[in-house]
Chain A
Amino acid sequence: MLNVEFDEERCKGCEICTSVCPKNIVVMADRLNAMGYHPATVIEQEKCISCSFCARMCPDVVITVRKEERK
């Protein structure tokens, strides 16, 4: 499972999430979704610290965030 998952068909390409990620790993994809927006995405999943800043700032509830369970 991904650390940070984007429901791309909901994304309106506003770029707010890219501006608040402390690791600067949220980027806009070249592809378009059905609404005609370039969706946000994270390729470098291993760099995600699961802080949820992107998800908390997303106005469209696009993003789900997970983290490893502590043993």
Chain B
Amino acid sequence: MITVFERPAALTSAKTHYCPGCTHGIIHRLVAEVIDELGIREETIGVSPVGCSVLAYNYFNIDMQEAAHGRAPAVATGIKRVFPRKVVFTYQGDGDLASIGIGEIVHAAARGEKFTTIFVNNAIYGMTGGQMAPTTILGQESMTSPDGRNPATQGYPIRVAEMLATLEGAVYIARVSVHNPQEVARAKKAIKTAFELQIAGKGFSLVEVLSSCPTNWGYTPTESLKWIADKMIPVYPLGVKKPLEEEKS
């Protein structure tokens, strides 16, 4: 018998604190699989955020640094500039990256900092109990939009991938999802491309991953995967945002 699937070496054996069915776990595993495949476990430094993934440093079997809320891109900038040959990534939720930390990520991308960001968009603040995030979709109910997000008073969702793709310093921006096995395979490919471009010294790369929060969305884990497909993807279309096909040379 040969083993075709097992835990990647870049994940520790710790049980995660994530809720049942939360796809943070899938995204952790994909990053770890890419680290293993590229053979960079001793060369990689991760920066964990504030949010449900605040304890990511217990789960990745690599060097990790915790950052203040939203400040992971600033911390990663420092690490990468001091250790230019290390592979550096931030792992950030949508509250962390698109709310309190929006300035950090925009300027890191604009400066073309040569690290990679894994941006987990679950359209809500998970850790703090389900408040509206900048990425909450119109009509979506949350603790702070109990009647559904209303653009008249609460504005519109931010499409982070498309927004950052306008910046010259960003070399690779993609949006992927993990709601079925096919999309999980595509998500892994995008994460690998982002890491490879970083290793080649090209510039800033970011992979936005649509993720579920069954607990705060109020759906079962399998219903939540369907909600990603039916409700999130129409607002957050998947695909490579930069470079566009016609720009590749």
Contacts and interface: CB of A to CB of B under 8 A. Distances in A.
B20 A65 contact: no
A65 B5 contact: yes
Given A10-B15, A61-B7, A69-B1, A56 B21 contact: no
Contacts of A63: 5
Contacts, number: 78
Task: State the main secondary structure of chain B at its contact with A.
Answer: mixed
Interface of B: 1-7, 11, 15-16, 18-26, 29, 180-181, 184-185, 214, 220-222, 225
Nearest to A12: B20
Contacts of B180: 20, 57
A38 to B, nearest CB: 11
B26 to A, nearest CB: 5
Interface string A46-58: 0000101101111
Interface residues of A, number: 28
10 contacts: A12-B19, A15-B221, A19-B222, A19-B225, A56-B184, A57-B184, A58-B26, A60-B16, A61-B25, A65-B4
Contacts of A69: 1-2
A50 B23 contact: no
A68 interface: yes
B5 A57 contact: no
B59 to A, nearest CB: 10
Given A14-B221, A57-B181, A64 B18 contact: no
Q: What 7 pairs between A and B have smallest CB-CB spacing? A: A59-B25, A14-B21, A12-B20, A65-B5, A14-B20, A14-B221, A52-B5
Contacts of A68: 1-2
A15 to B, nearest CB: 6
A66 interface: yes
